[in-house]
Structure 1
Amino acid sequence: MPCSRCLELTKVQINANLKYIFSLKPSREDNEEDDLDRDMQEDLIILETWDEKIDLIPLIWETLLSGLPAVELCSKECKGLCPNCGENLNKATCNCKKEEGDPRFDILRPFIEKEK
């Protein structure tokens, strides 16, 4: 998985629990679904017969994706990429001119300097 700041590949440890309950389709007189709590119903997969093949790949894929971190960093000190040239600032320094603020606010600069 790439680092969110510098795009270098990082190793990610995924901690996810895979829990699904497989059950035969209940008969009309025996409605077991009402007895199950809502959390169990979300993990319940009802089969028509025990001979039915079960495709586990989508279930495993969903569990792995839900276990991925939203933001992954190669290290806490990652400096990221230069916004101008795209240089990885962890490996080298760039010679880009550092911009001081948004040029659209230059008209307000005299007021800020006046307060200093």
Structure 2
Amino acid sequence: MKHEQSDLRIRISQLSEGIHSYRLISHPSELGLTENFQETIRVDVSLEKTKRQLYLRASVSTKGNYQCDRCSDDFDLPIHTSYNICYAYDEKDSEYLPDDEMRTIHIGTPYLELLDDVRDIILLAVPMKLICMNDCKGLCPHCGVNRNNEQCTCAEEHTDSRFDVLRTLITKNNN
């Protein structure tokens, strides 16, 4: 049975052992993601509780609005990403997992707060180079026309500016 709730925390203080599923819904403003995100953030969580630990698997979905780095058009970027974290009640149980996948919590902890983890995983899922489509042609460097929408009439000159100094020497020697 999947529990649906509208905040990014899960009550664990009275949780029975076993696997529990949750669908968490949040607005980007609750995570401080107001600049590029307007759509609801959905987090599907599978939480397995044992006597010694909690194992969380989460998948995060949302959509951001960005400007293409090549052509400057606005485009929607769907984000689908996931992460896993193991919460151990004892530090000895956490020594065999990487630090970014392991946390130690007190046995009386009432809630798991997922807000920071969800915000971080969304920001890490945004590529450094934002491209609207794989075959984006970008802007013409001479006239600035968006080459995805119209044909540019500029003559393309395929030169490497690092060799411009050599080209001037050749011109001087020929005269």
After TM superposition, is the score higher than 0.5?
yes
Q: Deviations over 1:25-61 (max 9, x none)?
A: x2xxx72223xx233x42122223313x543221012
Q: What number of residue pairs does the alignment pair up?
A: 104
Answering whether residue 124 of structure 2 is matched by residue 66 of structure 1, we say yes
The residue type equivalent to 2:136 in the other structure is C
Structure 1 runs of 4+ aligned residues shifted over 6 Å read none
How far apart are the structure 2 equivalents of 1:23 and 1:38?
11
Q: 1:57 aligns to what?
A: 115
Higher relative CO (Cα under 8 Å, sequence separation at least 6) belongs to 1
Q: How far has the Cα of 1:80 moved from its partner?
A: 0.5
> Structure 2 regions of 5+ residues with no counterpart?
1-65
* 1:6 aligned to which of 62, 68, 71: 71
Answering whether residue 78 of structure 2 is matched by residue 19 of structure 1, we say no
Q: How far has the Cα of 1:99 moved from its partner?
A: 5.0
1:66 counterpart SS class: helix
Root mean square deviation of aligned Cα: 3.3
**Normalized against structure 2, the TM-score is what?**
0.45
> Structure 1 regions of 5+ residues with no counterpart?
111-116
**Normalized against structure 1, the TM-score is what?**
0.61
**Identity value in percent:** 22
Structure with higher strand content: 2
